[in-house]
């Protein structure tokens, strides 16, 4: 089979499309014939070495497809799944491939009417938007929230979920085209950070009070000014670093700015049990199936074009979910 492998960490050129042995599922695993794989910034973090992983490794943290076989010795421990069932998975390296061997307890059923590509959206990006808006800082009716990169993969979904919860959304974007997308998803206000000072605009839009929460997946270039957008006892929710990691800073700054909170959550921490994984993924998949959540693909690429997908993602040329198709 073919897969996208990193033999030495680095830029997009580190992604190699090559033939490797087809995996053999062990007891408790299922062999998945992958129909779609999602592209996420976490893949970039592993590719560059920001997140450590032994090389060589097959890239990709989420995929969807059909069960082709179960590992020998699995017996009745199939969690109710059978050969041919449509499933999706996340948090497991190896999705940029034609096949993957996946622990059965990590598989999530894909409802009828939801495509493999859309099911991938529900995983890393969809569940991230869900835990951010429902748990890390549960948005309350009437809250004004700041969402950075509001037209990005997570941003689009987070804007919509924030609106579902009754929030007023201020979204930062990098162009008028992205501003239109953010407004289409429900953003009440958009700020083009290439033309406007987002800190000054947030203060203007909130009458100088600031917001109770900033959702920041950008990191280095937005973090410090984002703190200045918070009201006293506000929450800085730093869930990504697309512009680079935030440098170390003096925690006493949080006191000086109004007893602020800073958290660096991860999706793994919000899906620690199978029950929580099924509940969170199921909630997002149901939003997709019922059309309550608008899904926008930023691009569909052939598996062999993974390098180009990473280049486009890093250059922020895309607006929505990037999908690789084996």
Task: Write phi, then psi, for 319 (nearest 5 degrees).
Answer: -135, 85
Q: Which H or E run contains 301? A: strand 297-302
DSSP for residue 66:
E
Q: Which residue has the tokens 């049990």?
A: 273
Domain coordinates of the chain in residue numbers? Answer: 2-123+273-325, 141-264
Classified by CATH at the fold level, domain 2-123+273-325 comes out as Quinone Oxidoreductase; Chain A, domain 1 (3.90.180)
Residues 6+ apart with CB under 8 A from 213: 137, 139, 143, 145, 146, 230, 234, 235, 236, 237
**Exposure letters 190-199 (e unless 16+ CB within 10 A, then b):** bbebeeeebb
Q: Would you state the pLDDT for residue 42?
A: 86
CATH number for the region 141-264 comes to 3.40.50.720
Residue whose structure tokens are 């987002």: 198
Yes or no: say if 216 and 192 are a contact pair by the CB < 8 Å rule: no
Structure tokens at 128: 């991230």
Q: What is the mean pLDDT of each run of 10 residues along the chain (326 residues)?
A: 97 97 96 96 91 94 97 90 96 94 96 95 94 98 97 94 98 95 97 96 98 97 97 97 90 97 96 95 97 91 96 77 93
Cis ω for the linkage preceding 56 (within 30 of 0): yes
pLDDT at site 172: 98
């Amino acid at each position: 089979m073919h897969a996208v492998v990193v033999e030495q960490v680095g830029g997009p050129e580190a992604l190699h499309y090559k033939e490797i042995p087809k995996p053999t599922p062990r007891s408790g695993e299922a062999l998945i014939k992958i129909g779609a794989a999602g592209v996420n910034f976490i893949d970039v973090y592993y590719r560059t070495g920001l997140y450590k992983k032994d090389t060589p490794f097959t890239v990709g943290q989420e995929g969807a497809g059909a069960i082709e076989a179960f590992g020998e010795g699995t017996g009745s421990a199939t969690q109710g799944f059978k050969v041919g069932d449509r499933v999706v998975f996340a948090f497991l390296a190896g999705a940029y491939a034609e096949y993957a061997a996946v622990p059965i307890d990590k598989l999530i059923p894909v409802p009828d009417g939801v495509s493999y590509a859309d099911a991938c959206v529900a995983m890393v990006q969809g569940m991230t938007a869900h835990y951010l808006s429902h748990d890390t800082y549960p948005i309350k009716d009437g809250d004004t929230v700041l969402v950075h990169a509001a037209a990005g993969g997570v941003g689009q979904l987070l804007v919509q979920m924030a609106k579902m919860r009754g929030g007023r959304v201020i979204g930062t974007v990098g162009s008028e085209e992205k501003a239109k997308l953010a407004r289409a998803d429900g953003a009440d206000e958009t700020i083009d950070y290439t033309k406007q000072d987002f800190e000054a605009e947030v203060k203007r839009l909130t009458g100088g009070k600031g917001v109770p929460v900033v959702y920041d997946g950008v990191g280095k270039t937005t973090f410090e000014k984002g703190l200045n957008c918070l009201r006293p006892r506000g929450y800085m929710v730093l869930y990504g670093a697309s512009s680079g990691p935030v440098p170390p800073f003096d925690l006493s700054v949080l006191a000086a700015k109004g007893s602020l909170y800073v958290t660096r959550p991860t999706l793994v921490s919000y899906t620690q049990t199978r029950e929580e994984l099924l509940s969170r993924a199921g909630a997002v998949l149901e939003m997709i199936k019922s059309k309550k959540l608008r899904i926008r693909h930023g691009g569909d690429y052939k598996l062999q074009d993974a390098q180009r997908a990473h280049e486009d993602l890093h250059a922020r040329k895309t607006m929505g979910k990037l999908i690789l198709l084996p």
